[in-house]
């Protein structure tokens, strides 16, 4: 028979989107990577933990589709990540305090920059930048949790 914990986990997963679940796993992964000194990968996982929950909002809270996103990005010079972040940001701006929106917007932009540095630049990525990545992701998650 199933334990109470496994029953809870099964029911919890039924009501949770895969993206939201992946988002939590990505943030947990970032923390494990940081603990093990794998700092550049922390920025990657921290950023994607936020991107995944933003996409969850797009699909499950705003009731938009992948096609809607593709249509928006078709004639844009910006990439799909930036378009999605901006669209969900506009939605959040209407739902949360303006100061919280500014914090969210600043955090996600800083996190995206850290991820780009960690993934593509020929520069070092130290413990401080790694910890900053986690802090920015946690801050963003805290604001977003109010809605999802």
pTM of the model: 0.84
Residue 52: pLDDT over 90: yes
Among 68, 31, 45, 12, smallest CA distance to 114 is for: 45
With cut-offs at 50, 70 and 90, classify the pLDDT of residue 58: very high
With cut-offs at 50, 70 and 90, classify the pLDDT of residue 130: very high
The alpha carbon of residue 120 and the mean position of all alpha carbons in its chain are separated, in whole angstroms, by 19
Residue 122: pLDDT over 70: yes
Task: Quote the pLDDT of residue 108.
Answer: 94
Mean pLDDT score of the chain: 87
Q: pLDDT tens for residues 5-48?
A: 554 444 444 445 789 899 999 999 999 999 999 999 999 999 99
d(CA 92, CA 56): 13
Contact predicate 45/30, CB 8 Å: yes
> In this predicted model, which residue has the larger pLDDT, 16 or 52?
52
Residue 67: pLDDT over 70: yes
Tell me what percent of the residues of the chain surpass a pLDDT of 70.
88
- What is the per-residue burial (b if ≥16 Cβ within 10 Å, else e) of 82-106? ebbbebbeebbeeebeeebbebbbe
């Amino acid at each position: 028979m199933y334990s109470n914990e496994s029953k809870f986990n099964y029911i919890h997963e039924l009501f949770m989107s895969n993206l939201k679940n992946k988002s939590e796993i990505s943030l947990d992964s970032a923390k494990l990577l940081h603990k093990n000194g794998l700092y550049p990968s922390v920025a990657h996982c921290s950023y994607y933990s936020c991107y995944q929950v933003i996409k969850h909002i797009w699909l499950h809270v705003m009731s938009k589709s992948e096609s809607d996103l593709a249509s928006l990005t078709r004639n844009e010079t910006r990439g799909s990540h930036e378009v999605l972040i901006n669209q969900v940001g506009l939605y959040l701006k209407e739902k949360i305090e303006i100061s919280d929106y500014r914090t969210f917007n600043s955090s996600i932009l800083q996190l995206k920059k850290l991820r780009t540095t960690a993934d593509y630049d020929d520069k070092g990525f130290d413990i401080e930048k790694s910890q900053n990545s986690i802090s920015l992701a946690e801050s963003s998650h805290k604001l977003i949790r109010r809605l999802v």
